[in-house]
Amino acid sequence: MSQTNTPQRYRIGERDTNDRYPVDVDGAPAGHIYRWHKVWRTVVPGQEETRHPSAESAAEEVTKLVDAGALTDPSASGPAEASQTPDHALLLDLRLQPTAGNIRSAAIAHARIAELAWQPLAGYPGADNHWRMRCLICPPRWEGDRYWSHLRGRNNDRIPRPRYRHEGCIPVPEHAGKLALLVKPAPSCFCPAAHPTTADAAAVLLKSVARARRVRDTEALTGHLTRLLGPCPAATARAAAIEAALEAAKS
């Protein structure tokens, strides 16, 4: 018996600035898919997100939801308005809960990319997800996605990869001299925000974050995370202070 191939009804579009891929079904907008910690997920208004092993299987799920009548307002499948996004999304990706462990990882990452003269354009997303950044050592300032897992190096060697940073950057032999001019880590913070650089100060703020999360105080949470993760010349000392605070809490 001969078999006929079923035509593919979905089309996966180009990745947008929210790191999501729009999915059209039968030529009409139907939802989005995105990859998060090596798993693909569907985003369809009014439905719970589902997890899938590939982009194709995630898009197939969008098609099934359309056939089941789940999509009642196609216009709602777009990304949320920027005005609805909490300010701390620029420090810690909203898909990561502001737990002590995630804050520690984010603080270490923010400190190290500052040492490498990268400016984050989005919140820390974890080690193996796209992180939007701007290169600060070359004109014009390149913007694109990098993985923290690549920038931190392998096996604690602290050698970022790729060594050439990005297409069109200044030559690799010039990187060290440029970084020495641009990056001057400070041992203490003199910012108006008073970022913590001691274990005791970091511990107080971490407890304040937990309290703000518990009572759902978004404004206070943003303020605390800004002190723990916001730009600061002493970001490296701050990351060490957060680590020390968490180690002390274990004892």
pLDDT, tens digit, for every residue of 64-111? Answer: 888 888 765 545 444 444 445 667 888 999 889 999 999 999 999 999
Considering only residues 57 and 200, tell me which one the structure prediction assigns the higher pLDDT.
200
**Do the domain assignments include residue 162?**
yes
Cα distances (Å, whole numbers) of residue 4 to 8, 10, 59, 61, 122:
12, 18, 21, 22, 46
Q: Do 117 and 45 have their domain in common? A: no
**Do the domain assignments include residue 3?**
no
**Do the domain assignments include residue 94?**
yes
Name the CA radius of gyration of the chain, rounded: 21
**Do the domain assignments include residue 74?**
no
Q: Do 167 and 210 have their domain in common? A: yes
Residue 146 has pLDDT above 70, yes or no: yes
Q: Do 139 and 231 have their domain in common? A: yes
Q: Which residues have CB under 8 Å from 8's CB, separation 6+? A: none
Q: Do 149 and 217 have their domain in common? A: yes
Cβ atoms < 10 Å from Cβ of 17: 10
Residue 228 has pLDDT above 90, yes or no: yes
Q: Give Dmax (Cα) for the chain.
A: 78
Q: Mean of the per-residue pLDDT values for the chain?
A: 87
Q: Do 96 and 192 have their domain in common? A: yes
Residue 18 has pLDDT above 90, yes or no: no
Q: How far apart are alpha carbons 11 and 236 in whole angstroms?
A: 44
Domain count, the chain: 2
pTM metric for this prediction: 0.74
Q: Do 116 and 30 have their domain in common? A: no
Q: How far apart are alpha carbons 133 and 165 in whole angstroms?
A: 11
**Range in 84-88, 167-171, 212-216, 240-244 the model is least confident about:** 84-88
The answer to whether 212 touches 163, Cβ cutoff 8 Å, is: no
**Mean pLDDT along residues 29-48:** 84
Considering only residues 206 and 10, tell me which one the structure prediction assigns the higher pLDDT.
206
**Do the domain assignments include residue 241?**
yes
Q: Do 135 and 233 have their domain in common? A: yes
Residue 7's pLDDT is 73
Domain range for residue 25?
10-69
**Do the domain assignments include residue 81?**
no
Residue 205's pLDDT is 96
Q: Do 142 and 37 have their domain in common? A: no
Cβ atoms < 10 Å from Cβ of 160: 19
Q: Do 242 and 191 have their domain in common? A: yes
